[in-house]
Amino acid sequence: MSSLRLFFPIALITLLMSSCAKEQPTPENETSSKEASTATKQEVPPEQETKAAQKPAKKAQPKKTVETASVPYENPLTAEQKAAGWLSLFDGHSLFGWESTDDEINWSVKDGAIVADSGPVGSLMTTVPFTDYELVCEYRMKTGGNSGLFLRSQFPSGNIATECYEVNIADDHPDGYSTGSLVNRQKTETAVERKEGWNEFRVVVDGPKIEVQHNGQDVLNYTSDNNVAATGRVGLQKNSGQIEFRKILLKPLNLESLFNGKDLTGWREVPGSKSEFNVEDGEIHVKNGAGFIETEETYQNFIFQSEAISHAEELNSGFFFRAMAGTEENPSNGYEYQIHNGFEGDRSQPNNAGTGAIFRRVDARYVVAHDKEWFNATLIAFGPRISCWVDGYHVVDWVDDRKPDPNPRRGLRLEGGHISIQGHDPTTDLSFRNLKIAEYPKPSQGDE
């Protein structure tokens, strides 16, 4: 009996201690699982991340057969434009990817258009710069108004005669630089007829050459003698009167191939890789994992594009960039453009950061790509700012404000690094093609 009496108090104490331990609050320095999916999530040591990456992917959760009808995005690009690498700079419902040179300008989105009609003279500019590109933009302006498209501009814009370009939108100009002209550089040969409703600009910026079409007609062909504005942002000007812009599309030009379609020349396998990388029908096919191939060259500030396809549902892969040279112990110390098309409920809720995310830093705002279908990935890395598009739809615009560190897993890395393709785990089965890159010239003063 004495031993039985002793047992019950001990068991009761043990049970109470266990219950209290379960009810203890979460420490203040720990983040919730939801918070851990954002750019502010807790850092994981590189060695732990590497080990985690070698584990097989979790079994995919059943997906709903019908997506939520309230998904708030609509991709304006055609299938042909997506495959050709076009980017939509305006999503039709927000100012994501843009910033104003003056907060007093009342930039807003109304009825699928960017609108402004009050405040000082200034511009709404893309957060990232571009170098060579084709730009398509529709605009509508009331009679007597004044606006323009800024090309290769600093933030805010500099001297339009020496530091950037402005395609004017104005019925009248004191010096004759009316609609379609490059202000302070070249006038159109004949007056441009502007409709009362929507009008379209198509502009090609290629090295020192700028070509302008207005409503399908060639109106200007200009060649700079010094090409001082080699790179910069795209800007929408609010000068006087009400101005509206919509359908703002851009295609990067002069990207160089990183893959010859025949073999892996220019790439090397990271030691210890378990993935199988083969070239088949002009595509890089990767199965099994974990493992990586990386470029032999390094890249710092660039535009990178590639088509990719996952051959089964919710597979995990990615492009690593500004990465340290891979070793068997540390194969992937770089930023990661995530590839994972899973979502929960609707496509605004990625279940593993989402394709186009910068993994462990910022989630994609929508899961745009579909499994078993080719999609186009676009990545811009320029200084601390990183932007990502999926099928031309802008899903990430992020500034790395961490303290500098040679390893991007630990902090901001601005120096160049390798680009690598990931084989994530034994379920990996993806293909890649049309890998291309264009490096930026030295940053303009306003964007350094």
Identify the CATH number of the domain in which residue 219 sits.
2.60.120.560
Q: Do the domain assignments include residue 51?
A: yes
pLDDT tens for 304-335 read 999 999 999 999 999 999 999 999 999 999 99
Q: Do the domain assignments include residue 145?
A: yes
pLDDT tens for 385-438 read 999 999 999 999 999 999 999 999 999 999 999 999 999 999 999 999 999 999
- The whole-angstrom separation of Cα 429 and Cα 53 is 16
232, 252, 272 - which closes a domain: 252
Provide the b/e sequence for 48-72 (b: ≥16 CB within 10 Å): ebbeebbeebeeeeeeeeeeeeeee
Could you check whether the bond before residue 191 is cis, i.e. omega within 30 degrees of 0?
no
Q: Do the domain assignments include residue 14?
A: no
pLDDT at res. 443 = 54
223, 252, 281 - which closes a domain: 252
pLDDT at res. 326 = 97
pLDDT tens for 331-378 read 999 999 999 999 998 999 999 999 999 999 999 999 999 999 999 999
**Are residue 320 and residue 406 in the same domain, yes or no?**
yes
- The whole-angstrom separation of Cα 291 and Cα 307 is 20
Look at residue 34 and tell me whether its pLDDT is greater than 60.
Answer: no
- The whole-angstrom separation of Cα 306 and Cα 295 is 14
Q: Do the domain assignments include residue 19?
A: no
Torsion of CA 40, 45, 47, 48, to 10 degrees: -70
Torsion of CA 52, 435, 399, 246, to 10 degrees: -130
- The whole-angstrom separation of Cα 279 and Cα 285 is 6
**Are residue 159 and residue 293 in the same domain, yes or no?**
no
pLDDT at res. 73 = 67
Q: Which residue has the tokens 């897993």?
A: 409
**Are residue 295 and residue 357 in the same domain, yes or no?**
yes
Look at residue 189 and tell me whether its pLDDT is greater than 70.
Answer: yes
Tokens of 80: 């042909």
Tokens of 68: 């939520």
Q: Do the domain assignments include residue 339?
A: yes
Averaged pLDDT of the chain: 85
Look at residue 12 and tell me whether its pLDDT is greater than 90.
Answer: no
Average pLDDT, stretch 134-159? 93
Cβ atoms of 306 and 435 within 8 Å: the answer is yes
Q: Between these two residues, 224 and 113, which has the higher pLDDT value? A: 113
**Are residue 301 and residue 348 in the same domain, yes or no?**
yes
Q: Do the domain assignments include residue 30?
A: no
**Are residue 291 and residue 424 in the same domain, yes or no?**
yes
**Are residue 309 and residue 396 in the same domain, yes or no?**
yes
pLDDT tens for 261-304 read 999 999 999 999 999 999 999 999 999 989 999 999 999 999 99
- The whole-angstrom separation of Cα 250 and Cα 372 is 26
**Are residue 206 and residue 323 in the same domain, yes or no?**
no
Spatial CA neighbour of 408 closest among 335, 337, 300: 335
Q: Between these two residues, 205 and 191, which has the higher pLDDT value? A: 205
pLDDT at res. 176 = 86
pLDDT at res. 72 = 57
Look at residue 60 and tell me whether its pLDDT is greater than 90.
Answer: no
Look at residue 45 and tell me whether its pLDDT is greater than 60.
Answer: no
**Are residue 268 and residue 353 in the same domain, yes or no?**
yes
Query: How do beta strands 243-252 and 133-141 pair?
Result: antiparallel
Cβ atoms of 140 and 226 within 8 Å: the answer is no
pLDDT at res. 395 = 97
Q: Do the domain assignments include residue 90?
A: no
Look at residue 107 and tell me whether its pLDDT is greater than 50.
Answer: yes
**Are residue 284 and residue 408 in the same domain, yes or no?**
yes
Spatial CA neighbour of 315 closest among 352, 281, 279: 352
pTM of the model: 0.84
Total tally of structural domains belonging to the chain: 2
**Are residue 281 and residue 174 in the same domain, yes or no?**
no
Average pLDDT, stretch 139-160? 92
- The whole-angstrom separation of Cα 309 and Cα 374 is 5
Q: Between these two residues, 193 and 151, which has the higher pLDDT value? A: 151
Ramachandran angles phi, psi of 305, nearest 5°: -135, 145
Residue 158: CB atoms within 10 Å: 18
237, 252, 267 - which closes a domain: 252
Could you check whether the bond before residue 156 is cis, i.e. omega within 30 degrees of 0?
yes
Q: Which residue has the tokens 């994501």?
A: 96
**Are residue 235 and residue 134 in the same domain, yes or no?**
yes
Q: Do the domain assignments include residue 176?
A: yes
**Are residue 197 and residue 279 in the same domain, yes or no?**
no
Q: Between these two residues, 350 and 70, which has the higher pLDDT value? A: 350
Query: Reading across the β-sheet that carries 233-240, which strands appear in turn?
Result: 98-100, 122-126, 233-240, 146-153, 165-170
pLDDT at res. 303 = 98
pLDDT at res. 190 = 84
Q: Between these two residues, 357 and 225, which has the higher pLDDT value? A: 357
Range of the structural domain that residue 57 is part of: 46-73+256-447
Q: Widest CA span of the chain, in angstroms?
A: 111
